[in-house]
A and B are shown apart, each in its own frame.
Chain A
Amino acid sequence: MVGIGYRKDFAEDFASNNVLTPSFIEVAPENWMNVGGYYKKLLDKALEKHPLFAHGLSLSVGSPEGIDVDFVKQIKKFLDDTNTVEYSEHLSFSKCDNAHLFDLLPIPFTADAVKHVAKNIALAQDILERKIAIEIVSYYSPIAAEMTELEFINNVIKEADCNLLLDVNNIYVNSFNHQYNAKEFLANLDLERVKYIHMAGHTQVSEDLIIDTHGENIIDPVYDLFGFAMQQLDRDVPVLLERDFNIPELEILQQEMSQLQNIKTNSLKHTAHVTS
Chain B
Amino acid sequence: MLLAKTHQHQSKLATYCRTGNSVTIEGAVQKNLTHYRRLVFNNVLDSLETAYPLTQKLLDPKDWELLVHRFFSYYNIQSPQIWMMPEEFKNYILETELILTKQYPFLENLLTFEWLEVEVFMMPDIPHHKAPPETYVLNPEMDMMMVNYPVHLKNANTITKDDKGTYFICMHRDPDTGNVQFTNLSIPFVDVIECLSKKPLTDIQIKEILKKYAQDEIIETAFLDFINKATSTKLIFTS
A residues sitting closer than 8 Å to B (CB atoms) are 30-31, 33-41, 57-58, 62, 64, 68, 71, 93, 95-103, 105-108, 110, 112-113, 115-116, 140-145, 177, 205, 209, 211
Residue of B nearest to A99 (CB): B76
Interface flags, B142-180, vs A, CB<8A=1, else 0: 000000000000000000000000000000010001110
State A37–B173 Cα separation when bound (angstroms): 8
Alpha-carbon separation in the docked complex, A50 to B10 (Å) = 39
**Interface status of B210 (Cβ within 8 A of chain A):** no
With both chains docked as a complex, state the minimum distance between the C-beta of A120 and any C-beta of chain B, in angstroms. 10
Contacting residues, chain B, for A36 (C-beta < 8 A) = 122-126, 141
Q: Is B224 in the interface zone, CB < 8 Å from A?
A: no
Among A35, A71, A143, the residue within 8 A (CB) of B10 is: A143
Q: Encode B112-131 as 1/0 by CB contact (under 8 A) with A.
A: 00000000011111100000
B29 engages A107 (CB within 8 Å):
no
Q: Count contacts between A and B, CB distance < 8 Å.
A: 141
Q: Are B36 and A105 in contact (CB under 8 A)?
A: yes
By a CB distance below 8 angstroms, the chain A residues around B36 are 103, 105, 140-141
Specify which of A39, A62, A98, A101 lies most central, judged by the most chain B CB atoms within 10 Å of its CB: A101
Partner of B26, one of A64, A105, A144: A144
Across the interface, name the chain B residue whose C-beta is closest to A115: B1
A68:B80 contact, CB within 8 angstroms: yes
A105 contact set on B, CB distance < 8 A = 10, 13-14, 17, 36
A206 CB, min distance to chain B CBs, angstroms: 9
Confirm or deny: B103 has a beta carbon within 8 angstroms of a beta carbon on chain A.
no
A145 to B5: give the CA distance in the assembly, Å.
12
Picked from A34, A57, A98, A145, the residue with its CB within 8 Å of the CB of B76 is A98
A100 touches B80 (CB 8 A): yes
B64 at the interface (CB under 8 A from A): no
How far is B44's CA from A115's CA once the two chains are assembled, in angstroms?
31
Given contact pairs A30-B81, A40-B125, A144-B9, A205 touches B35 in the complex (Cβ within 8 A):
yes
Are A143 and B25 CB-contacts (below 8 A) given A97-B76, A205-B35? Answer: yes
Asked if B32 is at the interface of the complex by the 8 Å CB criterion, the answer is yes
Shortest CB–CB separation between residue A240 and chain B, in angstroms? 21
Residues of A within 8 A of B76 (CB): 97-99
Contact between chains at A103 and B11 (CB < 8 Å): no
B-chain residues with CB within 8 Å of residue A144 when the two chains form the complex: 5-6, 9, 25-28
**B81 near A103: Cβ-Cβ < 8 Å:** no
User: In the complex, which residues of chain A have a beta carbon less than 8 angstroms from the beta carbon of B26?
Assistant: 143-144
Asked whether A103 lies within 8 Å of B77 as measured between CB atoms, the reply is no
Task: Decide if B35 touches A112 in the complex (CB within 8 Å).
Answer: no
User: Are A30's CB and B82's CB within 8 A?
Assistant: yes
Asked whether, in the complex, the Cβ of A211 is within 8 Å of the Cβ of B77, the reply is no
Q: How far is the CA of A38 from the CA of B175 in the complex (A)?
A: 8
* Most A-side CB within 10 Å, residue of B39, B78, B177: B39
Residues on A with beta carbons closer than 8 Å to the beta carbon of B189: none
For A112, the chain B residues whose CB sits under 8 A away are 1-3, 6
Give Cα distance in the complex from A205 to B78, angstroms: 32
Whether the Cβ atoms of A101 and B40 lie closer than 8 Å is yes
Q: Is B18 an interface residue (CB 8 A)?
A: yes
B33 interface residue (CB < 8 Å to A): yes
What is the CA–CA distance of A96 and B77 in the complex, to the nearest angstrom? 10
Shortest distance between the CB of B177 and any CB in chain A (Å): 6
Q: Are B9 and A99 in contact (CB under 8 A)?
A: no
**CA gap between A103 and B3 in the complex, in Å:** 23
Q: Whose C-beta in chain B lies nearest to the C-beta of A72?
A: B80
Kindly report which residue of chain A lies nearest to residue B7, judged by CB atoms: A64
Complex alpha-carbon distance, A93 and B82, angstroms: 15
Q: Is the CB of B35 within 8 A of A211?
A: yes
Contact A100 to B79, CB < 8 A, known contacts A64-B6, A108-B6, A143-B25: yes
Contact A141 B33 (CB under 8 A): yes
Q: Which residues of B contact A205 (CB under 8 A)?
A: 35
CA A116 to CA B7, docked complex, whole Å: 11
> B6, A103: Cβ atoms under 8 Å?
no
* Bound Cα distance from A112 to B78, whole angstroms: 26
Q: Which residues of B contact A99 (CB under 8 A)?
A: 14, 18, 75-78
Given the interface pairs A37-B121, A110-B6, A209-B35, the reply to whether A143 lies near B27 with Cβ below 8 Å is yes
A35, A71, A106: which has the most chain B beta carbons within 10 Å?
Answer: A35
CB neighbours of A39 from chain B (8 A): 178
Interface residue? B101 (CB, 8 A): no
Q: Can you pick out 27 interface pairs between chain A and chain B where the beta carbons lie within 8 Å of each other?
A: A35-B122, A41-B178, A64-B11, A98-B76, A98-B78, A99-B14, A99-B77, A100-B79, A100-B85, A101-B17, A101-B40, A102-B43, A102-B82, A103-B39, A105-B10, A106-B13, A108-B6, A112-B6, A116-B6, A141-B28, A142-B27, A143-B10, A143-B13, A143-B28, A144-B28, A209-B32, A209-B35
